[in-house]
Amino acid sequence: MYPAVVRILVDYRPALRQRTGVGEYIHQLVRAYTAVNRDEVLLFTSSWKDRPPARVEGETGARVIDRRIPVRVLNYLWHRHEWPPAEMLAGSIDVVHSAHPLLMPARRAAQVVTIHDLFFLSSTHQTSAEIRRDYAALAAAHATRADAVITSTQYGRSQIVDRLGVEPERIYVCPPGAPTWRTLGRAPNVPAEGCILFVGTLEPRKNVGTLLDAYARLLDRRSSLPRLVLAGRATDAAIEWLRRIERAPFAGRITHLGYVPDQQREDLYQSA
């Protein structure tokens, strides 16, 4: 039986620096939850050098608990030794919510994990660091032990049932909501010189190479093609794509912007 006000600890580390897909999802999930519930939500962050921005508490309606612990060290201890428990880092907690497929260790709190897809199982060779080391080996055991699993699509739910063996009734689909933008989305947006826009980290799983192949085929067929804009952090695997866009037929037609902060994204989408 839970108390009238539930204390929920959320692993906010994916949103600590540049909020990409997972980080943006957890940021907006917390913001939406605190807007309609009176439970106490705590954002857990840890890093040796990075501290959470001061505006985070105001944006999310949650309180930050920040610990100066290196991310890789804590991940290894959590994944491989299931220590330290969340209560040791944040005090008494009723629910712990991991932003990824592996559990946040806890003494008594209910445990929730988040699984957006199973890329780490189907293409392990394209992952790195602790994702390669731990996810494929541990995800099934952690997901079946979790009190609840959050995913963002019905397809993801079916994959979690079929491949990880989680009971369907413990999986909850929470799709991403619409951005809280000032004007975009309230009327048709047809910019005079619009672009084709890709937003996401430049990594193998995003299939950017196929996008470039398709754009090259379009360039063969028509000369008045809109420019292609790639917005997202480039990983080491993106080096050949970045070299490719500097050569014909892409030179001058494709722009790589890198990571685009949240406050600039509406203008970016408005240009598409």
Q: 17-34 pLDDT, tens per residue?
A: 888 889 999 999 999 999
Model pLDDT for residues 211-225, shown as the tens digit of each residue: 999 999 999 998 889
Whether residue 201 contacts residue 127, with contact meaning beta carbons closer than 8 Å, is answered with: no
Nearest to 104 by CA among 148, 154, 136: 148
Task: Using pLDDT thresholds of 50, 70 and 90, give the confidence band for residue 1.
Answer: low
Looking from the CA of 228 toward its CB, the CA atoms found within 13 Å total 19
Residue 110 has pLDDT above 90, yes or no: yes
Whether residue 13 contacts residue 89, with contact meaning beta carbons closer than 8 Å, is answered with: no
Residue 200 has pLDDT above 90, yes or no: yes
pTM of the model: 0.90
Q: What is the pLDDT of residue 192?
A: 86
- Round to whole Å and give the CA distance between 207 and 132: 19
238 CB-near residues (< 8 Å, 6+ apart) = 202, 203, 208
Q: What is the pLDDT of residue 4?
A: 86
DSSP state of 47: -
Model pLDDT for residues 56-96, shown as the tens digit of each residue: 999 999 999 999 999 999 999 999 999 999 999 999 999 99
Structural class in CATH, domain 7-173: alpha beta
Residue 187 has pLDDT above 90, yes or no: no
Q: What is the pLDDT of residue 151?
A: 98
Model pLDDT for residues 131-175, shown as the tens digit of each residue: 999 999 999 999 999 999 999 999 999 999 999 999 999 999 999
How many of the other CB atoms lie within 10 Å of CB of 17? 14
Q: What is the pLDDT of residue 172?
A: 98
Q: What is the pLDDT of residue 263?
A: 86
H or E stretch at 43:
strand 40-46
The ranges assigned to domains in the chain are: 7-173, 196-270
Distance of CA 251 to the CA centre of its chain: 31
Q: What is the pLDDT of residue 182?
A: 85
- Average pLDDT for 95-99: 98
Residue 178 has pLDDT above 90, yes or no: no
- Round to whole Å and give the CA distance between 138 and 120: 11
Model pLDDT for residues 239-271, shown as the tens digit of each residue: 999 999 999 999 999 999 999 998 899 999 999
How many of the other CB atoms lie within 10 Å of CB of 61? 14
